[in-house]
């Protein structure tokens, strides 16, 4: 609980925001809401689980059985995540897309990473100075944003060619008479928001499973609830969006501080999620802590669920939460059921922030087909 002080004793924190107003840019949340949910129920479930996902597992299996070395898992997971969002946009016809989509998506992912890297550097310097002085970091940032938007437009334009066949979200957006420019921005937003977040959450989860043999075994019993707890627990330890930022809409008292209206707030959910006052044994990977019925839970006295908010909260929280949870549960259960996993990294893997929480080194997983 927050300890309140007399107002006169409080420190007044005033901060200047260096964020430049970005003109003519709309995000998905600025858009008018569709009259009804575009895709609901079982269809969404099917698309988020990714009909293509099961095929992918078969392809992975066949390649491994033929002795092919498993490709880079990070880019495979990115491809799977992108497939899910493309499935949702194009519906049941998405599988007819040409191969060069994968290439474009991988370029898109690389230029997104550059945006993340340069944005992280820009955090330490006032952005308007960088802009005025035309520093390299600013030029790199601009270049990566331009390239990402260019690729986003290209990918969307190709999808628009298929829109008449589509029975997905793209078709619904055109039926709402949205302009092609707005649709392009929404599609780019969705691909950007969905790709890295789900990829790295899946990667962290697989890494934790390779280090927790008992949990890995338990995950194979086919209990979907338990898989969900695995994903939740992994996001508590490694929230890919480790900081939530808000501008205070009104004067607020927070702990010992009186903060004026307009103050930018950064909340570290990485820290609150690993605080022992919020979660007993905070650094241990214990998915059963989320299961009210599990007898082992009685030893974990502290349990404050709102202290971990991987999808944020409120009107600007993640709109893809349901899709992400469905997709991640499906990925994890498919991978753990079909494969044995090993992590070959010798050095300790730490997390670093590059806008999102990523490992500080490439993770080298070996997969082998599991005998069932
Ligand atoms: C593990 C996966 C994901 C995590 C951890 C995650 C996390 C978040 C968080 C924390 C925010 C809010 C940022 C803030 O409040 O400042 C957010 C926003 C958003 N997310 Fe996700 N996300 C995930 C997957 C997805 C997916 C799959 C989609 C799309 C299908 C998506 C679409 C969006 C969009 C469009 C926003 C912006 C919402 C707005 O500004 O109103 N996210 N996400």
Ligand 1 atom showing the smallest separation from residue 88 Cα? 30
Interval 56-97: pLDDT, tens:
777 777 777 776 666 678 878 887 888 888 888 887 666 555
Look-up of token digits 């697989």: 206
Q: What's the CA gap between 336 and 12, in Å, rounded? A: 51
When mean pLDDT is compared across 100-114, 200-214, 354-368, the lowest value belongs to 100-114
Per-residue pLDDT at 158: 79
| Ligand 1 environment, Cβ below 6 A | 27-29, 85, 189-190, 193-194, 197-198, 201, 240-241, 244-245, 310-312, 316-320, 323-324
Reported confidence tier of residue 301, pLDDT bands at 50, 70, 90: very high
Q: Whose CA is nearest to atom 36 of ligand 1?
A: 318
Strands 11-13 and 257-259: parallel
Per-residue pLDDT at 167: 77
The neighbouring-strand residues paired with 335 are none
Residue 300 has pLDDT above 90, yes or no: yes
Across residues 176-204, what is the average pLDDT? 88
Per-residue pLDDT at 96: 54
Cα 235 to averaged position of ligand 1 atoms, centre (Å): 13
Q: Which of 48, 245, 311, 326 to mutate to test the pocket of ligand 1 (most atoms within 8 A of CB)?
A: 311
Cα 34 to averaged position of ligand 1 atoms, centre (Å): 18
DSSP state letter for 126 = -
Across residues 102-117, what is the average pLDDT? 80
Distances (CA, A) of 156 to 97, 160, 162: 12, 6, 10
Q: State the DSSP string of 143-197.
A: HHHHHHHHHHHHHHHHHHHTTTT--SHHHHHHHTT--HHHHHHHHHHHHHHHHHH
Q: What's the CA gap between 27 and 187, in Å, rounded? A: 10
Cα 321 to averaged position of ligand 1 atoms, centre (Å): 7
Look-up of token digits 């998506």: 105
Interval 213-253: pLDDT, tens:
999 999 998 899 999 999 999 999 999 999 999 899 999 99
Cα 29 to averaged position of ligand 1 atoms, centre (Å): 11
Instruction: Return the ∠ at Cα 25 (arms to 21 and 29), rounded to 5°.
Output: 105
Ligand 1 atom showing the smallest separation from residue 327 Cα? 27
Reported confidence tier of residue 157, pLDDT bands at 50, 70, 90: confident
Across residues 326-348, what is the average pLDDT? 89
Mark the binding-site residues for heme, compressed into ranges. Answer: 318
Per-residue pLDDT at 208: 97
Helices 51-65 and 41-49, interaxial angle, to 10°?
Answer: 20
Q: What's the CA gap between 360 and 353, in Å, rounded? A: 9
Contact 155, 105 (CB under 8 A): yes
Cα 312 to averaged position of ligand 1 atoms, centre (Å): 8
Q: Which of 318, 319, 356 to mutate to test the pocket of ligand 1 (most atoms within 8 A of CB)?
A: 318
Per-residue pLDDT at 54: 65
Copy the structure tokens of residue 314. 């409120």
Q: Whose CA is nearest to atom 41 of ligand 1?
A: 316
Give 188 or 55, the one with higher predicted confidence: 188
Mark the binding-site residues, compressed into ranges. Answer: 318
Residue 30 has pLDDT above 80, yes or no: no
Q: Whose CA is nearest to atom 10 of ligand 1?
A: 311
Cα 51 to averaged position of ligand 1 atoms, centre (Å): 23
- What's the burial of 264, exposed, middle or buried (CB within 10 Å: 0-12/13-18/19+)? middle
Q: Whose CA is nearest to atom 28 of ligand 1?
A: 320
Q: What's the CA gap between 320 and 311, in Å, rounded? A: 9
Residue 351 has pLDDT above 50, yes or no: yes
Beta strands in the chain (DSSP E): 11-13, 243-247, 252-254, 257-259, 264-268, 339-343, 351-354, 356-359, 365-369
What domains sit in the chain, N to C, each tagged with a CATH number? 71-369 (1.10.630.10)
Reported confidence tier of residue 35, pLDDT bands at 50, 70, 90: very low
Contact 28, 152 (CB under 8 A): no
Cα 154 to averaged position of ligand 1 atoms, centre (Å): 23
Across residues 275-304, what is the average pLDDT? 95
Ligand 1 atom showing the smallest separation from residue 314 Cα? 15
Q: What is the mean pLDDT of the chain?
A: 80
pTM value?
Answer: 0.83
Q: Whose CA is nearest to atom 7 of ligand 1?
A: 311
Across residues 295-303, what is the average pLDDT? 93
Per-residue pLDDT at 99: 67
Look-up of token digits 């990714």: 50
Contact 85, 319 (CB under 8 A): no
Work out the percent of the chain whose per-residue pLDDT is above 90: 37
Q: Whose CA is nearest to atom 40 of ligand 1?
A: 316
Residue 179 has pLDDT above 60, yes or no: yes
Ligand 1 atom showing the smallest separation from residue 29 Cα? 41
Q: What's the CA gap between 130 and 134, in Å, rounded? A: 6
Q: State the DSSP string of 35-81.
A: SS-SS-HHHHHHHHH-HHHHHHHHHHHHHHHTTPPPPPHHHHHHHHH
Residue 23 has pLDDT above 60, yes or no: no
Residue 9 has pLDDT above 90, yes or no: no
């Amino acid at each position: 609980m927050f300890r309140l002080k007399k107002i006169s004793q409080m420190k007044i924190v005033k901060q200047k925001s260096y964020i430049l107003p970005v003109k003519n840019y709309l995000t998905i949340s600025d858009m008018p809401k569709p009259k009804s949910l575009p895709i609901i129920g079982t269809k969404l479930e099917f698309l988020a689980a990714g009909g293509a996902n099961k095929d992918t597992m078969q392809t992975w299996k066949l390649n491994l059985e033929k002795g092919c070395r498993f490709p880079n898992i990070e880019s495979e997971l990115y491809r799977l995540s992108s497939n899910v969002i493309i499935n949702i946009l194009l519906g049941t016809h998405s599988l007819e897309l040409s191969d060069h989509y994968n290439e474009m998506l991988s370029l898109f992912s690389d230029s997104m990473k550059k945006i993340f890297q340069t944005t992280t550097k820009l955090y330490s310097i006032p952005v308007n100075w960088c802009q005025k002085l035309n520093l390299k970091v600013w030029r790199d940032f601009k270049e990566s944003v331009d390239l990402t938007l260019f690729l986003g437009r290209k990918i969307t334009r190709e999808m628009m060619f298929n829109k008449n066949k589509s029975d997905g979200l793209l078709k619904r957006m055109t039926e709402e008479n949205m302009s092609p420019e707005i649709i392009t921005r929404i599609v780019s937003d969705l691909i950007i928001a969905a790709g890295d977040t789900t990829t790295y959450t899946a990667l962290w989860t697989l890494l934790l499973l390779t280090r927790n043999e008992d949990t890995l075994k338990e995950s194979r019993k086919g209990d979907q609830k338990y898989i969900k707890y695995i994903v939740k627990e992994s996001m508590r330890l490694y929230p890919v969006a480790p900081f939530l930022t808000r501008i205070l809409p009104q004067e607020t008292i927070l702990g010992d501080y009186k903060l004026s209206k307009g103050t930018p707030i950064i909340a570290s959910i990485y820290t609150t999620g690993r605080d022992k006052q919020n979660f007993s044994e905070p650094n241990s990977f214990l998915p059963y802590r989320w299961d009210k019925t599990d007898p082992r839970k009685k030893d974990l006295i502290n349990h404050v669920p709102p202290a971990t908010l991987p999808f944020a909260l409120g009107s600007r929280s993640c709109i893809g939460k349901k899709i992400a949870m469905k997709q991640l549960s499906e990925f994890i259960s498919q991978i753990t059921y079909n494969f044995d996993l090993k992590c070959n990294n010798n050095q300790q893997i730490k997390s670093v922030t590059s806008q999102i929480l990523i490992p500080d080194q490439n993770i080298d997983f070996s997969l082998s087909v599991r005998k069932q």
